């Protein structure tokens, strides 16, 4: 089964996809792939850094190529969870030529809660673990529980960039909600609860689909 997790920046797409990965799903995060390239300073990283740091979408032809390459590296018979792709209708159409999307989970939450979550997010630069100083703090004063590195704030988690990302989301990505609703693939998830509460809803949906298959 292949699912897309759709929703605004900071709604918890990555957090929930990681939980699915712990159950054996292959997690593909286009944002993570881009950040890794930027960190390495490779050709892709140099091309996309300015877009990512400004909170804009990287051009479709680049990101579609990134996804194609990633799909070639993985076992496409596994369950796949896409996090951060597609971001607009053109990407959704490109995806249709690459894999079959079985369901789209739309995580819903209002902008004010998003801003609170993102300004409080901290990440581990070494292992990628994601924290939140309010809802999921590390146990040892701003060090990663898994590898001990000092936590950092993502460059695009400054409030001005978060507002820009939300603006881009409402203009470019939100139309995908109707697109996938019309295709009969959309499932809405209330993402305002705790991480566990949101995950329980996702797990229930997946179990329901598995029974129907
Ligand atoms: P990307 O990394 O995909 O960023 P995003 O969509 O803005 O999503 P985030 O990673 O910020 O948030 P999330 O929803 O995963 O939330 P998280 O789980 O971390 O993309 C970054 C950039 O790359 C884009 O701006 C663009 O430039 C480029 N890009 C990527 N894909 C692209 C594409 N397809 N096309 C073009 N450009 C692309 O949670 C957030 C925080 O909240 C954390 O601190 C977490 O602990 C906390 N939290 C999570 N869930 C809960 C909860 N239920 N309750 C309380 N706190 C919670």
Tell me the pTM.
0.96
| CATH hierarchy code of domain 2-25+79-110+166-207 | 3.40.50.300
Mutate to test the pocket of ligand 1, among 4, 44, 84 (most ligand atoms within 8 A of CB): 84
Residue nearest to atom 27 of ligand 1 (CA): 52
Full pLDDT tens readout for the chain, 213 residues: 999 999 999 999 999 999 999 999 999 999 999 999 999 999 999 999 999 999 999 999 999 999 999 999 998 789 999 999 999 999 999 999 999 999 999 999 999 999 999 999 999 999 999 999 999 999 988 999 999 999 999 999 999 999 999 999 999 999 999 999 999 999 999 999 999 999 999 999 999 988 887
Residues contacting residue 65 through CB under 8 Å, at least 6 positions apart: none
User: Is-catalytic flag, 87?
Assistant: yes
Nearest-angstrom CA–CA distance, 140 and 164: 32
pLDDT digits (tens, 9 = 90+) for 142-153: 999 999 999 999
- CA geometry: angle 18, 76, 207, nearest 5 deg: 55
pLDDT digits (tens, 9 = 90+) for 39-59: 999 999 999 999 999 999 999
Tell me the domain boundaries of the chain.
2-25+79-110+166-207
Nearest-angstrom CA–CA distance, 94 and 115: 30
Residue 211 Cα to ligand 1 middle (Å)? 30
Nearest-angstrom CA–CA distance, 85 and 104: 11
């Amino acid at each position: 089964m292949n699912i897309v997790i759709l929703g605004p920046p900071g709604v918890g797409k990555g957090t929930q996809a990681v939980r699915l990965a712990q159950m054996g799903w292959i997690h593909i995060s286009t944002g993570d792939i881009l950040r890794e390239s930027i960190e390495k300073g490779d050709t892709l990283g140099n091309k996309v850094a300015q877009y990512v740091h400004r909170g804009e979408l990287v051009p479709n032809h680049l990101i579609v190529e990134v996804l194609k390459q990633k799909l070639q590296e993985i076992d496409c018979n596994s369950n796949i969870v896409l996090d951060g792709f597609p971001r607009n209708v053109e990407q959704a159409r490109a995806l249709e030529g690459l894999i079959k999307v079985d369901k789209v989970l739309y995580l819903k939450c209002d902008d004010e809660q998003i801003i609170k979550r993102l300004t409080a997010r901290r990440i581990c630069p070494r292992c990628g673990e994601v924290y939140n100083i309010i809802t999921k703090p590390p146990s040892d004063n701003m060090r990663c529980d898994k590898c001990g590195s000092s936590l950092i704030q993502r460059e695009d988690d400054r409030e001005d960039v978060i507002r820009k990302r939300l603006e881009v989301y409402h203009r470019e990505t939100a139309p995908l909600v109707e697109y996938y609703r019309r295709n009969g693939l959309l499932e809405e998830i209330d993402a305002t609860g705790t991480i566990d509460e949101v995950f329980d809803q996702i797990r229930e949906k997946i179990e329901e689909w598995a029974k129907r298959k």
